[in-house]
Structure formats: C-alpha cells, structure tokens
Structure 1
Amino acid sequence: MVSSNSRIIILGGGAWGLSTALYLMEAGYSDVTILERAEAIPSPYSAAYDLNKIIRAEYEDEFYSKLALEAIEGWKTPLFGPYYHQTGYVVATTGKAPEKAVTHLEKALASIEKDPAFAPGIKRLDGSSDFKDYTWQYTGPLSGFKGYFNRLAGYAHSSDAMKGIWDHILARGVKSILGERAGKVVKLEYSNGKATSVTTADGRTHNADLIISALGAAGAAVLPQIGKSSVARSWSVAHVQLTEDECNLLRGIPTTNIRDLGFFFEPDPRTKLFKLCPLGIGYTNTNQHGISLPPSEQFRGSQDFIPKGDEQKLRRLLRETFPWMADRPFVDKKLCWFSDTADSNYCIDFVPGSNNSVIVLSGDSGHGFKMMPIFGKWVTDLIVKGRQSEARWKWRNPSENASQWGDSVSWRVGQGAELSELVGLDARVASPKL
C-alpha cells in the first residue's frame, strides 16, 4: 500500500517522469525523488530533448484521439501554455505516396472530421492552390498533394516544456539527484520478491517503497524483462540554419506532415533552426541478448549523421515545399531514440512479480510527448487502484510477431534497419552492457 508519505523514486527526468512527479506532488505524495543521469534538465537522454514535437489529436483509435484532445486542453493552461503554439496542422500525401500512407491519412482525418470539437477547423485540401491558401510560403510544386488542414493542432517546444515543469515541481518539494554517477541507476534491489532500493553508478543505495521506471529507450538496461516488448528505436532529425529574415518569412506556418516524406515546424526564433524529420519505421540497435538499446555515449557523441536514404527523403520534401532551401546543408543531424511497442500502445503497469513495488512507463512509440500535461494522472490512478484496468496499457509479454513491427501500425511505411547496417559497426559493441 502506497501512502502519502511513502518513499517514491522515479527513474528518469524526461517528459513522462516529470509529468508523473507533477501529478504525484499535486495528489499529496510528499516524498518523491527523481533520479536522472544527466547533469541538468532537460536531459539529453530524453526523447523530448528537442526543439519541438507535434501536438495533434488525429488517431485511427478513438481512444487516443479523446486523450489527445484532453491533453491539448492541458497545453492551454498557464502551466503548459508558454510552450504550446497552435499554428494549425497540415497533413498530406504526395502523388507518389504508397497506398498505406494514403489510407492512414484518410483514417486519421475520419477520426476528427465529424467531431464537433474539430469539425469547424477542418478543411480538406486538394492540389497546390488549396495548400497555398493556408501556407502562402510554400513555393514548391506540391506535386499531387492531397490532405487537410486542422486548426486545433500545432506543436510544443519540448525542451522548454521539460525545463518549465522541472522548475515548477522542484519549487514545490519534489527532490532530485542528477549526474552520470549519482543519478544513473544501475540496479534494482529486491527482498522477498519486492523492490526495496536502487543502486546508482556511484555505489550508493537509495531506499524506496515504490520505484517508477520512466527511462524510455534505455529502460531495458535496468529492467531487461521489458526489452522484448518495448524496444529502443530511433528516427532521424535534421535542421537547416536560417537567417533572421528567413526565420521571419516562415514564422507562423502550420506544422506540416507529408505522410510519405516527413514533417517540419515553423523555425525556432531563438536558434533560427528549421527542424525536419523523415517518416519511416526507424532503426534499432540490437545487442547480443536480442535487446535493442541506444548506442554507447562514445558512439553517440562522435556522430553527426542521418542515414543517406533519410537525407534524400528530406531533400525531396524541401523541393516540394521550400525549394530555395533544398540544397542547403543540414546541421545538428542526429538519431532520436525512443521506446517503441509492436502495436504502438503505451505500457503503464506494475512489473509482474514485484508485488506492486515497481511500475514501468514505456512504449511512447513516438506519440507520447503530447500527453505530457495529463500523463501523470494515469500513473497516479494506477497507484491508487493497485491494478491497470486499461487493456491497452497492461504489461505485455514479448510479441511472437516482433519482427513484423513495421506492418502492425499503419503509419509505419517503408523498411527499418539495424544501426550496424547503417554505420558498419557491430551493434553488440555499440550498445551499453546490461
């Protein structure tokens, strides 16, 4: 039984860990500590360590659409509002899009087109002139573009949001231990089938009545049992450095998602970086134990690349939309690692066999950040109830069809790959040891 003064340790200071700490604090839990291996928040180990993330509510599953709509209302509150920008959302496919991409777009649109909360702000777009009515800055041919505009969507500045919530919860009593040795958890300790403490890289023991793992892509390094059902996967991220005038030219453009190419946002006014991401299945880094983990820090720190195929896809995206930018150099190129599940559902549940002493938060699957304003509520509810009643979020055993992950979710288009195939490294060497 977890009481208001129970010792609760949260592993990881990313979006989900911070949201959980926020809701625990608001629910009256007085002894909450975040352990984070980074030296500061926002943590570069978090998938949300980024300029921006899409905030939208289009899902084929009405369950997530409703939750995302609730989250959008959360983004409009004084606490989260400074980081939310409702620029609108353009979603499209090109004339060469595979059928799967077109089908996904239509299903996503159907999930909101008749919803009274969205319908007044939805406009179907067919052809370049329709798109340029909403984004006059598009100067490319927009070849065969078809899609829609959704007013009730946009993006959030993800790193700033994490920093803002971090400052808020620390000022209200949440404790923290940061640093590569002091804040990095290497082992959970058990007694009579119940987790009682965690050990950090500096050898210290931290006692706990409840441990909540919010380690994202690195979760299996501490809890190997989740490594076959929630795997570390990465997508490419690249940026173009703009001038002040160019940044001003594109200010206020809708967040734009071309389902068979990639997506981009209005430029960041502070850095003048224009962020782009290609769409696809992504890349894993499977080690000798059959578990995918982010690569070692030595590897990650020495790389400034994205796969050639992804760069080509982004060049095509720019030629279709902003051809004046299409041959500009990409800067700050990287692979963004996140936790993915076969069916794209989250895992928010107690670890079996832990006597309700360990909760795992995993499987954001590339659509978890938008839920930050409400995510912690679900964790608090789980603690109070003592069991997960939502079937989608229950602990799951490894999928027998794990190799077919690219086919199980409609928005995954194309072929994935192992990191070792891309860079010529043995992934077992590049991965941290379990």
Structure 2
Amino acid sequence: MAPSSLSCSSLPSSQAFSPPSSILIIGSGVFGLSTALALSRRDAFSQCSITVVDRSDPSQPGTFPAPDAASTDTSRIVRADYADPAYAALGDESQRKWRMTDSPADLGGQGRYNETGLILVADVTPPAPVADLAAGEALKEPKLTGMDYVQQSWANVLSLSSKDPTLASRIRELPNRDAIRDCLGTAGSSGSWGYINNNSGWANAAASMAWLFNKAQETGRVSFVAGTVVSLVHDETAVTGAKLSDGRVLSAELVVVAAGAWTGSLVDLAGQTMATGQVMGYLDLTEAEQEKLGKMPIILNLSNGLFIIPPTNRVLKIARHASGYVNPTTLHTPPLPLSPQSAGPSISAPASLPLTHLDHPNLSIPAEGADDLRRALHEMIPWPELKDRPFTKTRLCWYSDTPTGDFLIDYHPGWRGLFVATGDSGHAFKFLPVIGEKIADCIMHNCPPEFRGKWAWRKTTGLPVATDDGTRGGTALLVLADELAKTAEAIRIPARD
C-alpha cells in the first residue's frame, strides 16, 4: 500500500509508518539530493530502492547542478540570522556542520565554507498614517518590516550565542550608518541600523552540491537518472511515477517532487507556492581589487533586499532578495490537479514558471533590476573604478516562494503516494547539511514539532501568492515580460504556449 496522504502535521502519532518499497525523487537540488542521502542512511529504508531523476546529469562535468538551478552559483549566504526562532535554531544546527573544515572530506573543507561575517541592516520605515489604513487593517497583526526582522534576528542570535562566550563576542550592534560604514570597510554603507554577526558566512554553492552528490553516490544506495520529467503518472487515487520527455516512465510506490521553482509544472500549487525570478549581477575584478574585497563581510539590507557577498576568483556578486518577477506560463501538459475528483487544475491563470538563459541564451535581466544592482554597488562599494564597470554577466535566480516564507514539506492531501518538498523561498541552501534529515522525518510522519503547521500543505484560495515575511524589500511583484519589454537592450522574447 502506498504511504498515507495525511499531512505529517495531522497524522496521529500512534500510527506506525510503513516504508515504501521504492521512492522516486524528482529533482537533485538541495531538497531532493539531501533527502536521498538521508533516506539511504536510515534502517527503515534499507529494503527500499531510491532513485533521483533530474534534467542535469551528475555524471557529466559542467552539467550538474543544472546551470540555471537555484542550487548552483559562486556563493550562498549561510546564517542563523532569522526573525523566527525555529529557523534561527535550525540555521545554528546547520552552521555547526558547515564549520567542519579540517578535512577535505568535510562539508566546509576545501573552501566550500567561508566565515567572513554578515552585516544585517535595514532602514527605518515610518509607520503608515492612520488615514491611509484600509478599514479594519489597523486591527490586523502588523506586517513585519525589514527593520522588525533585523531586530528580531539580532535578539535570536544573541540568545543562541549566550552560552558560548566566543560566539557571543563575535556579534556586535551597528547603531548608525557611520558604524555600518566602519564595519564594512569599503568606504560604503547601507541602512540606518543593524549588527554584524561574524559567526555567519557564505558557501560555494556549486562545490557544495558536488560534495553532496558524492556523499549520496558513495552510499551505493541511490540510483541517478538523467531526464526531464514532463508529468506525473497516476491511477484513480494515487501517483505511481513520472513520465520523461523521451517517453520513459519511472515507477515508484512513493514519488517525492523536489523540483524547486519548476515544481508548479508538475503539481497544481496555486496558493501554495509561486516561482519568482530574482536578479543577480557579476563584475570581474582585478587581483588587487580581489585582495581588498575578499575579506569584506557580506552586507544585506532587508529594507530593499540588496546584498553583496565577498568576491571569489576575482568575481564580485551583487544581488537582490525581493518580491521578484513572475512569468505566467501556459503548459501543454497541465499539472496534476488538486485531487482525483478535480476536473482539471484549479488555477484560473497560468502558473508562474522559470524563464532562464537555457530557454533563451540571450536573456538578460530587466533594466529595472540592473539599475537597482548598480545602486547597491554605488552605495555599498563606492569606488570610482567600479562605478560604471559593466556586468560581466547577469542571471535570474528562481525561487519557489510561499506566502510566509516557510517551506512546503508534506504529503499531498489529494493523492496517495505523493510527497512535495519545495517552497525554498530563497533561503533553503544554508540548510544543506540538515534539511534532508528533516524531510526524511516528515516522510516518516515525524515532522519536527517546531515546524508542524509551518511546513504543512495550506488551505488556500488558489490565488497567486507572494512572500511577505519582512525580508522582501523593493518593489512589489513585477511581470517579467512587461519589464523586459521596457528594456531597450533586451532581446524580445516570445511568450511560451
């Protein structure tokens, strides 16, 4: 019998878990690959075959992770700096593993993890005038601002470090713009208040994913299939496998969809998650510039979402963590409906799905985003020699966003044999060393207590969602095609149908 479709938050604790005979994991990003590794190590799954299918082939150099995946790049922030105590504690647990750097076999070894510190800042946002509030809005719980988030994060990291004087000594308040400038050390600044946490850092994303793949491969328990999944296969009540673009069908008793921002092409996620594109720009540096900036701390302003990570290999990355762009897309093959009883997908409009340079090699980021990245550079590193230096390359990094910024890790409520692990909301990579075990717990109906409800399938209206957790600065959701149309330098891209 296929595993129950009851959510891990609703299943009675007394109900025993019966492991499936086979598991198919769609997607080899952080969620998918770490889950495969965690399952392969558990006695409960010793008789279970585990297969990972992904459009990128990990056996071919340069193709894994997929060049347009969210889990590849030069760098990702690793922090416990969260306004939510549960994520702060999970980040702290994860960082303890990132800090293992003594051996080349350690996750943080060979330069995969660099603890250069994080300056987290925000701008003071004046409260909305009472006259501007809609009727009844004043009675609702106020939304978290960037400053609220930074202040709550400050309190959480202080609490986490309170039992270790060494860690506590590495966290310092930055009460004004001048203090932020002095701490950053580039002659630039950003925000009006914040703090530096020298216990935070960044990871080489592509190298860390290669490490994770090697760990999964070393178990001898995980099979890898290169192929693009175009739809889920199902009978009257249960998902039974996946169909690939070349016509192959992979069958399994339990299917785990962990396809990141592409998950919405396979499963109707209306109201659960939505794919949003985030802008990134890269500048080539001289050796002297690399030397000067290589040890700078990360700086992230949660009021506008702009951040800069220290350069590596003479490449400086500037990015924005904001509401992002949506890309409404009509699919030839509709995603799996909400239940077997549904006549079709419940969404009334096309789902937002990624559009990347693999779809269109000449794709560039919209001028609106490029201008914002340039503004961050001028503010945070105001060097004349960098002021007008063109970006060497730009890219859109696609998030799978949820309304609250919580992950979606749960059994599908409408289909047996289907588990969904997505909703990274742009902050999942740092949990690479621990998230697979948590997902495996959820598969075994043992969701960590602090995340019950947070990671569960939500009751929704089916309308599009946007993350509103206090971290998304800048403008509201923008339509990618509209912004590209405004950009004279961008190549016009025909709509996909």
Q: TM-score, normalised by structure 2?
A: 0.77
- Which secondary structure state, in structure 2, belongs to the residue aligned with residue 392 of structure 1? coil
Contact 1:101 1:411 in 2 (8 A): yes
Q: Is the 8 A contact 1:340 1:365 kept in 2?
A: yes
Q: What are the within-5 Å matches in structure 2 for residues 176-255 of structure 1?
A: 176-178=224-226, 183-223=227-267, 225-255=268-298
1:38 is aligned, of 56, 68, 72, to 56
Cα pair 1:13 1:35 within 8 Å, conserved: yes
Residues 1:52 and 2:75 aligned together: yes
- Residue 107 of structure 2 aligns with which residue? 80
What is the DSSP-based 3-state SS (H/G/I as helix, E as strand, rest coil) of the residue aligned with 2:152? helix
> Is residue 2:460 matched to residue 1:398?
yes
Correspondence for 1:106: 151
Task: Give, in whole Å, the separation in 2 of the partners of 1:298 and 1:381.
Answer: 35
Amino acid at match of 1:199: K
Structure 1 match to 2:39: 24
List alignment gaps of at least 5 residues for structure 2: 4-16, 58-62, 128-144, 331-348, 487-491
- CA distance in 1 between partners of 2:421 and 2:76 (Å): 19
Q: Which residue of 2 aligns with 1:168?
A: 215
Within the alignment, does 1:292 sit opposite 2:352 as a pair? Answer: yes
Equivalences for residues 127-142 of structure 1 within 5 A: 127=176, 129-136=178-185, 138-140=186-188, 142=189
SS of 2:434's partner is: helix
Shift of 1:315: 2.2
Paired residues of 1:235 and 1:335 also in contact (CA < 8 A): yes
Q: CA deviation at 1:126?
A: 3.2
Shift of 1:231: 0.7
In structure 2, what is the equivalent of residue 268 of structure 1? 312
Which of the numbers 104, 108, 120 marks the counterpart of 1:91?
120
Work out whether residues 237 and 335 of structure 1, in 8 Å CA contact, stay in contact via their aligned partners in 2.
yes
Counterpart-to-counterpart distance in 1, 2:217 and 2:377: 42
Answer yes or no: is the 8 Å Cα contact 1:121–1:151 preserved in 2: yes
Amino acid at match of 1:8: I
Of the structure 1 ranges 121-130 and 234-243, higher mean CA displacement relative to structure 2 is found in: 121-130
Shift of 1:283: 0.8
**Compared with structure 1, are the counterparts of its residues 402 and 107 closer, same or farther at alpha carbon in structure 2 (3 Å cutoff)?**
farther
CA contact (8 A) 2:303 2:471 kept: no
- Higher share of residues assigned helix: 1
Within 5 Å, give how 1:348-359 maps onto structure 2.
348-355=409-416, 357-359=417-419
- Flag as ranges the 4+ runs of structure 1 deviating above 6 A: 2-5, 386-389
**C-alpha distance in 2 between matches for 1:172 and 1:385:** 24
In the alignment, structure 1 residue 154 sits paired with structure 2 residue 219: no
> CA–CA distance in 1 between the matches of 2:201 and 2:82?
15
Name the structure 2 match of 1:68: 91
Residues in 2 aligned to 1:298 and 1:244: alpha-carbon distance in whole angstroms: 31
SS for the counterpart of 2:209 is helix
Q: Which residue of 2 aligns with 1:9?
A: 24
- SS of 1:430's equivalent in the other structure is coil
Distance in 2 separating the partners of 1:348 and 1:68: 17
Q: 1:149/1:297 Cα in 2 relative to 1: closer, same or farther (>3 Å)? A: closer
Pair 1:322-2:392 in alignment: no
Change over 3 Å in CA distance of 1:132–1:375 after alignment to 2: same
Residue 350 of structure 1 contacts residue 387 of structure 1 at CA under 8 Å; is this kept in 2?
A: no
Matches within 5 A, 1:266-415: 266-269=310-313, 272-288=314-330, 289-295=349-355, 299-303=359-363, 305-324=364-383, 325-355=386-416, 357-385=417-445, 390-399=452-461, 402=464, 405=466, 408-413=468-473, 414-415=475-476
State the alpha-carbon separation in 1 of the partners of residues 324 and 469 from structure 2: 13
Aligned-partner Cα distance in 2 for 1:143–1:345? 27
Root-mean-square deviation (Å): 2.6
The 1:402–1:201 alpha-carbon spacing in structure 2 relative to 1, beyond 3 Å, is closer
AA partner of residue 96 (structure 2): E
Name the SS for the 2:97 alignment partner. helix
Residue aligned with 2:329, SS: coil
Task: Return the match for 1:121 from 170, 183, 195.
Answer: 170
What's the offset of the Cα at 1:384? 2.0
Q: Relative to structure 2, which stretch is displaced further, 247-256 or 189-198?
A: 189-198
**How far off is 1:388 after superposition?**
8.5
**C-alpha contact (below 8 Å) 1:232/1:292 kept by paired residues:** yes
What is residue 333 of structure 2 aligned with on the other side?
none
Deviations 1:249-297 (A, max 9, x none): 111211111234411111112xx21001024211111235331111276
* Structure 1: stretches of 5+ with no match in the other structure: none
The residue type equivalent to 1:139 in the other structure is A
> Alpha-carbon deviation of 1:27?
1.2
Deviates more, 1:241-250 or 1:74-83: 74-83
For residue 34 of structure 2, give the secondary structure of its aligned residue in structure 1: helix
Alpha carbons of structure 1 residues 227 and 297: separation in structure 2 relative to 1, 3 Å: farther
Question: Contact 1:235/1:282 (CA < 8 Å) preserved in 2?
Answer: yes
Aligned-partner Cα distance in 2 for 1:89–1:401? 36
Give the 3-state SS of the residue equivalent to 2:441 in structure 1.
helix
Cα offset for 1:102? Answer: 2.6
Cα displacement (A) at 1:430: 3.4
- Contact 1:93–1:146 (8 Å) recurs in 2: yes
Residue 195 of structure 1 aligns with an amino acid whose one-letter code is V
Farther off after superposition, 280-289 or 6-15: 280-289
